[in-house]
Amino acid sequence: MDWSDVVLLILVIVILVLYLRLMRKNMRLRQMADEANRLRCEATEAERRNRQLKQEMTSNIAHELKTPVSSIRGYLEILLGDKPVDDERRRHYLQRSYSQTLRLSDLIQDVSIINKLEESADLFPHTAVDAAEVAREAIGDLSDKAATVGITVYNRLPSMPMNGNRELLYCIFRNLVENSISYAGEGVAIVLESYEPIRTSDFRPSTTDFFYIHYYDTGKGVADEYLSRLFDRFVRIDEGRSRQNGGTGLGLSIVKHSVLFHGGEIYAKNRPEGGLEYFFSLKKI
């Protein structure tokens, strides 16, 4: 082999190496382009889904507002009409109008909380708070309402000092108890207790960074078709009863968002003994 053959061989090797490097670079560029396209598609889909959810929520809010506003308008038209209204009927219409204004107020408050949690969660400050103390407060505020349907609440939660938002923690416990009052039936029990997960399927592996809470009632439970949608917005297990009790259809959705805000997880299932139970976690810091 003479020098010309050696030089030619070297040139061939150099060209081959450069070609392989170029191919690898092109492959990486194609992979990066594919990844960018995938992320762009995911972002577009997320934006579309978010827009759809907002449209659905706007439509649902309009639907929820329509009934109380129409009721109040009807009662006021009667009271302001030309026909005389006796004192008993006047008081009845005013009471019904007042109850509908309370429903409107609750709906506006719940929608505001949902929007803040989804778009401006940083507006909810973290402070030192005892979750068990907040639970006692929520239970106490609902004690009269629970007593009217013969429901007894057993709060067995130990002290749970954590760094959280008191308003959202209150929403968790109040909405869970109100949901049981509305749907569990009369004469049932509600129990709140702490526990340590022993199954890895419950949550992420158990650590000392979380409090774990078991909430259940001994009522009727819910049909499987509702169980999978329990935390969706404007889902009512019993449409008529929920409206009668002034429910907004956002309570359990707020519960889930509030748990997520505190770094936790939540799921629900029917108890074999009867009733509905929730398992959720709250991060201490």
Cβ-based neighbours of 54, under 8 Å, separated by 6 or more:
none
8 A C-beta contact, residue 164 and residue 282: yes
Domain boundaries, the chain: 126-283
Query: For residue 9, what are its two tokens?
Result: 């061989």
Assign domain 126-283 to a CATH class. Answer: alpha beta
The model's pTM: 0.74
Residue with tokens 């109100």, as numbered in its chain: 178
What confidence tier does 263 reach under pLDDT thresholds 50, 70, 90? very high
What is the pLDDT averaged over residues 85-100? Answer: 89
Buried/exposed 71-108: b ≥16 CB within 10 Å, e otherwise: bbeebeeeeeeeeeeeeeeeeebeeebeebeebbeebe
8 A C-beta contact, residue 63 and residue 92: no
pLDDT tens-digit series, residues 201-250: 565 555 688 999 999 999 989 888 888 888 888 776 655 445 455 567 78
Burial class, 176, CB count within 10 angstroms (exposed 0-12 / middle 13-18 / buried 19+)? buried
Cα Rg of the chain (Å, integer): 29
**Alpha-carbon gap, residue 53 to 55, rounded angstroms:** 5
Query: For residue 202, what are its two tokens?
Result: 């419950």
**Alpha-carbon gap, residue 280 to 207, rounded angstroms:** 14
pLDDT tens-digit series, residues 157-212: 999 999 999 999 999 999 999 999 988 999 999 999 999 876 545 655 556 889 99
Cβ-based neighbours of 9, under 8 Å, separated by 6 or more:
none
